[in-house]
Structure 1
Amino acid sequence: MSTVDEKTAGEHLLEVEDLHVEFRTRDGVAKVLNGVSYHVDAGETLAVLGESGSGKSVTAQTIMGILDIPPGAVTGGSIRYRGEDLLAASDNRRRELRGESMAMIFQDALSALNPVYTVGFQIAEQLRLRRGMSRKDATKKAVELLDQVKIPNAKQRVKEFPHQFSGGMRQRAMIAMSLALDPDLLIADEPTTALDVTVQAQIMDLLDELRRERGMGLILITHDLGVVAEVADRIVVMYAGRIVESSDAYSLYKQPGHPYTEGLMRSIPRLDLKGQELETIKGLPPNLLAVPPGCPFHPRCPRAEERCGTEVPEYHQLGLGRISACHFAEEMMSRG
C-alpha cells in the first residue's frame, strides 16, 4: 500500500521519540504530551486519533516548530526529520524546513487564510519569496496547483477571496498552498472539520491521491475512525497525552487492543444499526492539570479493575509493530 522513496530507504522520514511537552499556566503545569513516539515513512499514511485534548495537534505543532512558547515547553524527547534532530536545530533552519520539506494543513481554513488577499496571491507569495519566481510565473503556478486539487475554473478562482469559496473549496485551497513548495511530509490537522459527509470523502480521496502521486509521507490527525478507514496504513490512538495503541490499520479495525479504541469504534454510525441509539464513551477526558493516577482512561473504562487506578500500564506487544497500553490487552485480543 505504501511506496518508499529510495533516498529514505532504511530510515524513517520522520521519527518522534519519547516526546514530552508541558503547558505552564497560572493554575499549574499541564503535562500535555507524556512520552509520545511514532514515525512515518515516505509514501505512507499515518492516522493519529483521539478526542479533543488528547495531544494530537500539540504533537503536530511541535513537529512543525510552531508551538507557542511560552506557555508550551518541550521537556524531553527528540524529533528527527531524515535523521536531523529538529529540536536541536536553529530557528532559521526550522523556517527553512517549513513549507520546503514539511507542510501543515490547519483545521479551520477560513481562519488560516488571510481574508484581505486573494487565494491566488496567498499561494503565489511563497513561490515568489522561496523560489524567486516572478509574479506572473507564481500566479501561473498557483492556477496549476488549484487545478491539481480539483477546483473548477481555477484561472478565475485564483482571483477570488477566501469568503467567496465554500468550506470544501477553502480546504482544497489550503491543500494547494501546502503543496506549493513540494514538501516530503504533509500534516493534515482535522482536514474535514465542519464539512458535510460527501465533501469529507472527497477531501480524503484527494489527500490520498496526492500522497500516492508525490510519494510524500502523510499524517492525518482526526477524532473520527470512520474518516481514515480507507486511507490509513497505520494508526496511533492518543489519550491524555499518551499513545494508548499503535497498529496497522487492518488489525486495529479487525480487533482493537485497547478499551479506548474499542469505544471509539463503537461510536461510529453504522447502517446495520439504523434506528438504534449511538454508543458513546461515558464521561469526559481528564483535566491535564490533574490526570488521575494509574491508567488515565480508567474512570471511563468499562473493563477497569482496582489495579487500573494505581498502576500505569506498560506497553504490551500484540504482534509485529502493534502495541497497547492496557493491563488487559492480551485478554482483549483473546476473547474480543
Structure 2
Amino acid sequence: MSGVTGPDPAAEPLLAVQDLRVEFRTRDGVATVLNGVSYEVAAGETLAVLGESGSGKSVTAQTVMGILDTPPGVVTGGSVRFRGEELLTASPRRRREVRGAGMAMIFQDALSALNPVFTVGFQIEEQLRVRRGMSRRDARARAVELLDQVRIPNPRGRVRQYPHEFSGGMRQRAMIAMSLALDPELLIADEPTTALDVTVQAQIMDLLAEIQRERGMGLVLITHDLGVVAQVADRIAVMYAGRVVEQADARSLYRTPAHPYTGALLDSLPRLDQKGTALNTIKGLPPSLLAIPDGCPFHPRCPRAQDRCRAEVPARHEPAPGRASACHFAEEVLAGG
C-alpha cells in the first residue's frame, strides 16, 4: 500500500464528489453515464477507482476537472468540492484557476494528449509563462528540472524534442512532468500505464508513489489493473454502470469484498497456484447505458441475484465500519456466505 501517512479522518477532504450525475444525450437516446457517484480523497491519500471499460471512471474525472465535452455530456446533478469550494457552479475562469494549480490530470494516451507540432519543453513551459508569469529562460530551466525529476535522461537535450521522438514510457513521464508544473495538490491519473510493458508500468507507478510522498499530494488512480492497485492504493472505489458499488480500504476490500461484482473481479485475477486451469470470468457484458436494467444493474451477471435484485435498486449502506456497498445482501457477501 501507499507509504503516505494516513489522512486525518476529522480533516476536510481535499476532493469531495457527492451524488454526481451525468447524461450523454445522443441520437440514439439518453445514456445515463454517471448515476450518483460519490467519493472523497484526502491530502496525501491514494484512492484507486476500479471498474470495467464504460463504468464511468474517466467521465467522473473529466467532470471533476471541468473538461467534460458538452455536448453530449450534461451534468444533471450532484456536487464537486475542492477544499470545500463548489466547482460545478464556479465560473469558467475560476475552474481554469483550479486546474493545474489545484488539481491536474494525467491522461491515458500520452501521444494523443501531447501536441505533436510543439516540443515537449514548449508544452511544459507554456503554462509556466502564462500561469506563473515566468520568463522564457526561467520556464525553460524549470522544464528541464521537471523532466529530470521524472527521470528522463538528458533532460536538457530532451526538452527540445517532439513527442514522436519519445518512447511510450518517456511520453508518459513527460505528461507527469507537465501535470506537476504548477505544483497541484491533487493529481488524477487516468490509466497512466496503458499500452506500456510490465517493467515500464512498474517504473511509472513507483515514480508516482515517490512524487506523492515527496509532495503530500492526493492521488486518484483510475485503472482496471487490480495488481497495480494492490501495491499503491490506500482506499478503493469500485464502479459499475455509472455507480460506486463498493468502497473500502484496500486491505479490507482484497481480503473480504462486500459486493458480488468486486468478488468477481478479484476471482478473475490469474493466480500462481492455479497454473494450467481456466481463468475465471464474469459472465455476460456490462449493460448498455442507454438501457440500464431495472433493479441492481449487476443482477443479469450476478450469481446471487434474487427477485428483489431485479426490482429494487440497492441503496448504498455500511455493512461494516469503514465499508460501503450497494448490494441488498452486502452483509452476507462480506461474511462469505
* 1:187 equivalenced with 2:188 (yes/no): yes
Structure 1, residues 38-61: CA drift from partner, whole Å, max 9, x if none?
Answer: 000100000000011101111100
8 Å CA contact 1:247–1:322 kept in 2: the answer is yes
Deviation at 1:332, TM superposition (A): 1.4
Partner of 2:333: 332
Divergent runs of 4+, >6 A: none
* 1:117 equivalenced with 2:118 (yes/no): yes
Deviation at 1:327, TM superposition (A): 1.5
Q: Distance in 2 between matches of 1:11 and 1:256?
A: 27
Give SS of 2:173's match: helix
Q: Distance in 2 between matches of 1:335 and 1:263?
A: 13
Partner of 2:322: 321
Amino acid at match of 1:205: D
* 1:59 equivalenced with 2:60 (yes/no): yes
Structure 1, residues 67-94: CA drift from partner, whole Å, max 9, x if none?
Answer: 1111111111111000100011000000
Amino acid at match of 2:137: K
* 1:16 equivalenced with 2:17 (yes/no): yes
Deviation at 1:323, TM superposition (A): 0.8
8 Å CA contact 1:4–1:42 kept in 2: the answer is no
Amino acid at match of 2:105: M
Partner of 2:30: 29
Structure 1, residues 185-217: CA drift from partner, whole Å, max 9, x if none?
Answer: 100000011111111111111111111100010
Larger deviation: 275-284 or 138-147? 275-284
Give SS of 1:317's match: coil
Structure 1, residues 228-278: CA drift from partner, whole Å, max 9, x if none?
Answer: 111100000000000100000010011111111111112222222222222
Partner of 2:130: 129
Partner of 1:149: 150
Structure 1: tracts of 5 or more residues without a match:
none
Give SS of 1:24's match: strand
Q: Distance in 2 between matches of 1:15 and 1:189?
A: 18
Structure 2: tracts of 5 or more residues without a match:
none
Partner of 1:280: 281
Q: Distance in 2 between matches of 1:266 and 1:149?
A: 35
8 Å CA contact 1:257–1:324 kept in 2: the answer is yes
Q: Distance in 2 between matches of 1:82 and 1:254?
A: 32
Deviation at 1:102, TM superposition (A): 0.7
How high is the sequence identity, in percent, across the aligned residues? 76
8 Å CA contact 1:4–1:215 kept in 2: the answer is no
Q: Distance in 1 between matches of 2:268 and 2:276?
A: 14
8 Å CA contact 2:102–2:186 kept in 1: the answer is yes
Partner of 1:253: 254
Q: Distance in 2 between matches of 1:36 and 1:67?
A: 15
Amino acid at match of 1:188: A
8 Å CA contact 2:15–2:82 kept in 1: the answer is yes
* 1:297 equivalenced with 2:298 (yes/no): yes
Give SS of 2:231's match: coil
* 1:225 equivalenced with 2:229 (yes/no): no
Deviation at 1:107, TM superposition (A): 0.3
Equivalent positions of 1:266-277 (< 5 A) are 266-277=267-278
Q: Distance in 2 between matches of 1:219 and 1:83?
A: 18
8 Å CA contact 2:7–2:45 kept in 1: the answer is no
Amino acid at match of 1:216: M
Amino acid at match of 1:61: Q
Larger deviation: 196-205 or 168-177? 196-205
TM-score, structure 2 normalization: 0.96
8 Å CA contact 1:16–1:78 kept in 2: the answer is yes
Q: Distance in 2 between matches of 1:292 and 1:87?
A: 29
Assess, with a 3 A threshold, how the Cα gap between structure 1 residues 69 and 153 changes in structure 2: closer, same or farther.
same
Give SS of 1:93's match: helix
Deviation at 1:286, TM superposition (A): 0.4
Please tell me the root mean square deviation across aligned C-alpha atoms, in Å. Answer: 1.5
Partner of 2:179: 178
* 1:167 equivalenced with 2:168 (yes/no): yes
Deviation at 1:135, TM superposition (A): 1.2
Deviation at 1:5, TM superposition (A): 8.5
Amino acid at match of 2:47: L
TM-score, structure 1 normalization: 0.97
Amino acid at match of 1:116: V
Partner of 1:82: 83
